[in-house]
Amino acid sequence: METPPVKLKYLTTALAAALCITGTGTGFAQDSAPSVAKVTAATPPPKLIVMIAVDQFSADLFAQYRGHFTGGLARLVSGAVFPSGYQSHGATETCPGHSTILTGNHPAHTGIIANNYFDLTAAREDKRLYCAEDETVAGTSSGSGKYAPSVNHLLVPTLGDLMKARDPKAQVVSVAGKDRAAIMMGGRKADELVWLAPTGLTSYRGTLLSPTATQAGTAIAAAIAQPRPGLPLPADCTAQDIGIPVGDRVLGNGRLARDGGDFRGFMASPEADGAVLAAGAALRQARKLGEGPATDLLILGLSATDYVGHNSGTEGTEMCLQMMGLDRELGDFFARLDATGIDYAVALTADHGGHDIPERNRQNGWPAAERVDAALDPDAVAKVVADKLGLPQPLLYSDGPFGDMYLAKTLTAAQRKAAMAEFINRFRAFPQVEAVVTGEELAARPISKQAPDVWSMLDKLRASYNPQRSGDFIVVLKPRVTPIADTSRGYVATHGSVWDYDRRVPMLFWRKGLAGFEQPNAVMTVDILPTLASLIGLTLDANKIDGRCLDLLSGPESSCR
Ligand SMILES: [Zn+2]
């Protein structure tokens, strides 16, 4: 096979060469075809749908960098642009967010209410369940690396599942940086489903990777083993080049340099996204996605933006380098896809938004930004409540200082009532707590049918509430309280709140010949499934979908059938 020339030092191109992917990436692909037939309601369905989720790509980041994109994101901005997309639910974490994108359902219905939730009736000792694991596998726990990845917790079908149910010849491939992204978007019937690992690519336990995935994994592992010098800072990023002390570190002026073999450093850089895109391109080529009789689906979960956000916040050179790298990697990927001549459609969104570190927010016009009070520790609160009421420990199960909280199952009805009242009072007394809401309150509410920008806090929490899986009560922090008290190790910024900076995400649709338009009104990521289904003539049961079809044709015609 002919090896295309390596023009860029970024990974898509380097890996593409290693994987013999045809076509030449330019990194700055634009739709420059001289005469492209305009897409109308009569245009046949695309042969390939490319669904891209960029982890933590908030509507704020999109707005900030939109004018700077020249690559793949610039191309998508020329299509149907919904800048006010919403992950409308309250628990804005990675797993719930990815579960909405290709199911058309809120987490209340997908069952993916959080990255981690509790099942106190689980047979195993560790009652904390990871969203994408099978806790019934002997010897597992939700602690890092000790779980068996699984799609079992997802309660609804994905687009790929529905496409394959309609036509078994439809192929579905899902590649992501994180297992939960590949799994929650890929669903149960994907032909190939892989994610990044220190060894390159991996999948479910016991799954033999295809020869192409094995080859891609080997190339990715070789890339991880190489050290990476700091990336040169583009002119667009120089204004952000200001160091800021956070704990005993200085952030904000980083260049994403890393040592050879540093997998965490690899994941928090455009390299990781390039690896996913290159692996996706290689698998598409090997399986001839978009070249068969049915429409195929290629799912790409780009996780690096999230790791950069967690490690460094959103407003330093680190994120600027990531945004520029992502744009270029996507451009390279699209250019290679263009070279195949396949009629493909792209949808891009995010699993949640994000928020900058309070230290920099305080410098940049938001003096009230703060970190959560270390005293707001559910274990400490539980100890006080247990001592006061004479109840046994463990009394309360939680995954952090906010979100779902579960009372021990061993309590009598009277003890439970007393403990609940005491917990609610104590949590409400913390100045950083906005509200404490019970599961009972949420269970009694219908899911809102209004546009997501006018949802109340209870509406948001209701869309995250599943009676079998949610907590007995939910703690909501005030806006701009970063729920990381100790920055000495690990992450400095995060997401997960009910506030709009964590809920708002761009929703972009592009297809060759699609006339572009902008629709700034609020739409939802649960609208993506019905929108794509309509594009390929796939009939859905509206009673099983929370979203609605978005018309992608400007003017009087509609793409919603
Ligand atoms: Zn995250």
Count of other CB atoms within 10 angstroms of residue 383: 15
How many angstroms separate the alpha carbon of residue 292 from the centre of ligand 1? 36
Per-residue confidence band for 488, with pLDDT thresholds at 50, 70 and 90: confident
How many angstroms separate the alpha carbon of residue 554 from the centre of ligand 1? 34
Count of other CB atoms within 10 angstroms of residue 204: 15
pLDDT value of residue 7: 31
How many angstroms separate the alpha carbon of residue 339 from the centre of ligand 1? 34
How many angstroms separate the alpha carbon of residue 92 from the centre of ligand 1? 9
Give the residue from 532, 87, 83, 61 showing the smallest Cα distance to 351: 87
Residue 490 has pLDDT above 80, yes or no: yes
Q: What is the mean pLDDT of residues 498-522?
A: 98
**Could you tell me which residues come within 8 angstroms of residue 249 by beta carbon, excluding any fewer than 6 positions away?**
487
* 407, β-bridge pairs: 396
| Percentage of the residues of the chain whose pLDDT score is greater than 70 | 94
- The per-residue pLDDT of the chain, averaged, comes to 94
pLDDT tens, 301-342? Answer: 999 999 999 999 999 999 999 999 999 999 999 999 999 999
How many angstroms separate the alpha carbon of residue 207 from the centre of ligand 1? 27
How many angstroms separate the alpha carbon of residue 432 from the centre of ligand 1? 22
- Which of 14-18, 81-85, 208-212, 461-465 shows the lowest per-residue confidence on average (mean pLDDT)? 14-18
Per-residue confidence band for 222, with pLDDT thresholds at 50, 70 and 90: very high
Query: Which residue of the set 13, 26, 92, 94 is catalytic?
Result: 94
Give the pTM.
Answer: 0.95
Residues 461-474: b if buried by 16+ CB within 10 A, e if exposed = bbbbbbeebbbbbb
Give the residue from 328, 337, 218 showing the smallest Cα distance to 285: 337
94 is catalytic: yes
Taking the C-alpha atoms of residue 442 and residue 477, their distance in angstroms, rounded to an integer, is: 17
How many angstroms separate the alpha carbon of residue 494 from the centre of ligand 1? 6
